[in-house]
Amino acid sequence: MKKMAELFSLKKIKFVIRRRVTTFFQKNKCANRNNEYINKNGKIIQYSEADYDKWLEKNQLTNAKKKLIKQEIAAFEFTPLISIIMPVYRVDPVWLDKAIGSVQKQIYSNWELCIADDASNDDTIRELLLKYSRGDPRVKVKFLSRNSGIATASNEAVFISDGQYLGLLDHDDEISADALYENVKLLNRCPDAKLIYSDKDKIDMHGNRLNPFFKPDYSPDLLLSQNYICHFNVIAKPLFEKIGGFRKGFEGSQDHDLLLRIAEQTDHIYHIPKILYHWRIIPDSAASGFSAKPQAWEAGRKAVQDALQRRKIKGNVVCGKFNGTYCVQRKVLQKPSVSIIIPINNKDRYFKQCVTTILEKTQYPSFEVIGVFDYLDDNTLNLKKYFGKTNKNIEFVKSFERYVTSKDLNQAVERARGRYIIFLSDALEIVTAGWIEALSEHTQRDEVGVVGGKYYLPDGRLLHAGILIGIGDGVGYSHKYFYKDDVGYYAQTHIIRNVTGVAGACMMVKKNLFQQIGGFDEKYFRHTHYDIDFCLRLREKGYLNVFTPYCEAVFHPPDAGEPETPDEYIKQKQHEINFIKERWKAVLAKGDPYYNPNFASDQADFAFKL
């Protein structure tokens, strides 16, 4: 019994350690260092080297797996020629040799390697490239007479290619032995694919693998905020040629510029949630951090700004809080009236504090506040007198139930005068002066459903940075209880990105879209999860939901000693929680498209699935 108790205690300790990943900061020797996103104030999600080693052991490509892959390849109906494009310039021959070797080790054999040497003027490199081209007819080499830069060299490599698809590989990196197989496997399943990307990690000079980047599925807003797609990607050659290939003037972020232009031509973009690319960490390489190539950050900003101009989006792009990130500041057009609907759930003190900060901080020119109170609230008359003296754009509507319900919110929308609706918790205290602008710059977009902001507890612990589905057997909050200044997973709490849903505690939507979708489902979700259900219905209709960190608020939890919630109310909420699991069972089972399946799904903390 004593041994069993000790074993149970040990497992419990391991679980707690795993769940406290945010405490593994720079003082620890960690694998997931996200160097390109660190600044002097930032903390990052990190896992011990042992964690990733366990993941690698579980997911290693064994001989048995390779045998099965070969059998599967033999059954493929579609076996296209894949042209690997590799620009070369003054690279250490050791790394070049390993890069070429990783292509020759591919299990899928219908490939060619197209290399353009950008006038390296190095006999060792020249001899190595000639050796490979003479020894393997699939290796093509072109030597440029003068140095023209990585964009031109890459295009020159494409010119000598014959494949239907292009795979991009840097001269000092490696691809996994199953990289091409996984891409062709997807092409057999999805022949309409025009861009395929996969996950990556880093590899040091000793061959150790570390710092994995498990990416989300295609997120157009995230691609504007950072080049999260990067490597490894496979592109349909006709599309590459249509957009004119790589462009000079974006060196250091030429891939980001290319991907943005591809995304403007097609939405047939697929993600393989497997690590197929190993980014080499060597001195002066971007893999060692953006500080090694600071010009790349500015080149990326320029690429995003150029994308806005092509898309006829009025706005400006600035470098983000962390290296390699960008903030797209869209111009708010027309600035239509906004109705802020606030359910008064925590009595007058919280509502008074919430509205006071709105009136003090808000710069937006035209808005109204609608407070929705329950029929037992005796303090509303005092609130009317208090705010009536200072602002005529605050009104109150009464619920006919003990607690404010989704039906009450729907009715408040009906009487709202604004073209945009903001649902806001009375427990929130607004922090950013431009909070309405931050929300409305995305709400005004035709393709966007709802937009949500970032809010946290008074001690700085995050409560909301977007909602994830398929967490546990229901929903979860991304980065919950991480600190607001932490970098988080690849800076996701500090950049604009697409999410499956946002919480109704801070949600903006067009009034006409809200009504078109049918508003909140007041029949099945009276008290809870009506916001999640609404977000999922929007996604079902093809709308994008957006999280922005540029709308910030502090959430004040209810004081201790509040009256106990009636059992009947608790039972009703639990019934609604169970019902959303049933209604969206198939969607929840697929997991969240913005949360990689290589993460454990019991909590939204980005822990590896081991």
For residue range 407-424, what is the model confidence (pLDDT) as tens digits? Answer: 999 999 999 999 999 999
Q: Which residues of 378-403 are buried (b: 16+ CB within 10 A; e: fewer)?
A: eebeebeebbeeeeeebbbbebeeeb
- pLDDT (0 to 100) of residue 350: 86
pLDDT higher at 51 or 552: 552
Looking at per-residue pLDDT, the higher value among 474 and 37 belongs to 474
Spatial contact of 321 and 39, defined as CB atoms under 8 Å apart: yes
When pLDDT is cut at 50, 70 and 90, the band that residue 396 belongs to is confident
Whether 338-590 and 76-315 are alike in CATH topology: the answer is yes
Confidence of residue 388 (pLDDT cuts 50, 70, 90): low
pLDDT of residue 17: 41
Note whether 158 and 150 are within 8 A (CB). Answer: no
* Band (19; pLDDT cuts 50, 70, 90): very low
Predicted confidence (pLDDT) at residue 507 exceeds the cutoff of 60: yes
DSSP per residue over 36-55, as a string?
A: GG--TT--B---BHHHHHHH
Q: How far apart are CA 255 and CA 236, in angstroms?
A: 15
Residue 173 has pLDDT above 50, yes or no: yes
How confident is the model at residue 40, as a pLDDT? Answer: 34
Predicted confidence band at 609 (pLDDT cuts at 50, 70, 90)?
confident
561 CB-contact burial (10 Å; exposed 0-12 / middle 13-18 / buried 19+) = exposed
Residues 6+ apart with CB under 8 A from 297: 252, 253, 290, 319, 323, 324
**Is 165 or 283 the better-scoring residue by pLDDT?**
165
568-584 confidence digits (pLDDT tens): 777 888 888 889 999 99
Count of residues in the chain: 610
The gap between the terminal CA atoms of the chain, to the nearest Å, is: 28
Domain boundaries, the chain: 2-58, 76-315, 338-590
pLDDT at 48: 61
Does residue 253 contact residue 228 with C-beta atoms inside 8 Å? no
Max mean pLDDT range (61-70, 201-210, 596-605): 61-70
Query: Rounded to the nearest 5°, which phi and psi values hold at 595?
Result: -130, 110
The torsion region of residue 324 among left (phi > 0), alpha (psi -120 to 50) and beta comes to left
Mention every residue, 6+ apart, whose C-beta is less than 8 A from residue 554: 428, 429, 431, 455, 456, 457, 458
Tell whether the torsion through CA atoms of 39, 43, 47 and 48 is positive or negative.
positive
Residue 396's H or E segment, with its range, is: strand 394-398
User: Residue 413's pLDDT is what?
Assistant: 97
Indicate the pLDDT class of residue 30, thresholds 50, 70 and 90.
very low
Which CA distances in Å does 329 have to 222, 304, 452? 14, 11, 16
Predicted local confidence at residue 126, as pLDDT: 96
Residue 549 CB-density burial (10 A; 0-12 exposed, 13-18 middle, 19+ buried): buried
Measured on CA atoms in the order 84, 87, 93, 95, is the torsion positive or negative?
Answer: negative
Question: CA triplet 21, 27, 30: central angle to 5 degrees?
Answer: 55
Q: Is the pLDDT of residue 567 over 60?
A: yes
Residue 64 above 60 pLDDT?
A: yes
| pLDDT above 90 for 560 | no
* Residue 54, CA distances (Å) to 176, 608, 609 in order: 18, 9, 10
Predicted local distance difference test score (pLDDT) of residue 161:
98
What is the mean predicted confidence (pLDDT) over 62-66?
96
Q: Where are the alpha helices (DSSP H) in 489-529?
A: 511-517
When pLDDT is cut at 50, 70 and 90, the band that residue 382 belongs to is confident
The residues, any chain, with a CB within 8 Å of residue 561's CB and separated by 6 or more, are: none
Q: What is the pLDDT, as a whole number, of residue 45?
A: 58
- Predicted pLDDT at 34: 42
Residue 287 has a pLDDT of: 47
CATH fit for domain 76-315, picks 3.90.550.10, 3.90.950.10, 1.10.10.1100, 3.40.190.10: 3.90.550.10
What SS3 class is residue 552? strand
Q: List, for residues 230-240, the tens digit of each pLDDT value.
A: 999 999 999 99
Mean pLDDT of the chain: 88
Residue with more model confidence, 558 or 503: 503
CATH number among 1.10.10.1590, 3.30.300.30, 3.40.710.10, 3.90.550.10, domain 338-590: 3.90.550.10
Share of the chain above pLDDT 90, in %: 74
Element (H, E) at 316: strand 315-319
Confidence of residue 35 (pLDDT cuts 50, 70, 90): very low
Task: Compute CA 350 distance to the chain's CA centroid, rounded to the nearest angstrom.
Answer: 33
Confidence of residue 243 (pLDDT cuts 50, 70, 90): very high
User: Residue 386: phi, psi to the nearest 5?
Assistant: -65, -50
Q: How confident is the model at residue 14 (pLDDT cuts 50, 70, 90)?
A: very low
The span from the CA of 566 to the CA of 580, in Å, is 22
- Cα separation, 300 vs 256, in Å, equals 7
Q: How far is 297 from 329, CA to CA, in rounded Å?
A: 17
> Residue 82 is inside which H or E element, if any?
strand 82-88
Burial of 522 from C-beta contacts in 10 A (0-12 / 13-18 / 19+): middle
Q: Is the pLDDT of residue 520 over 70?
A: yes
Say how far apart CA 425 and CA 45 lie, in whole Å: 29
Least confident window among 49-58, 369-378, 419-428: 369-378
Q: So what's the pLDDT on residue 148?
A: 94
Please, which residues have CB within 8 angstroms of residue 28's CB and are 6 or more apart in sequence?
46, 48
* Lowest-confidence segment of 291-305, 307-321, 555-569 by average pLDDT: 555-569
pLDDT attached to residue 309: 97
Say if pTM beats, i.e. exceeds, 0.85. yes
Give the chain's radius of gyration (CA, Å): 27
Interval 21-32 mean pLDDT: 33
pLDDT of residue 50: 75
- Number of CB atoms found within 10 A of residue 160's CB: 15
Q: Which of the 8 DSSP states describes residue 253? A: S
Return the pLDDT at 21: 39
Q: Is 587 exposed, middle or buried (0-12, 13-18, 19+ CB in 10 A)?
A: middle
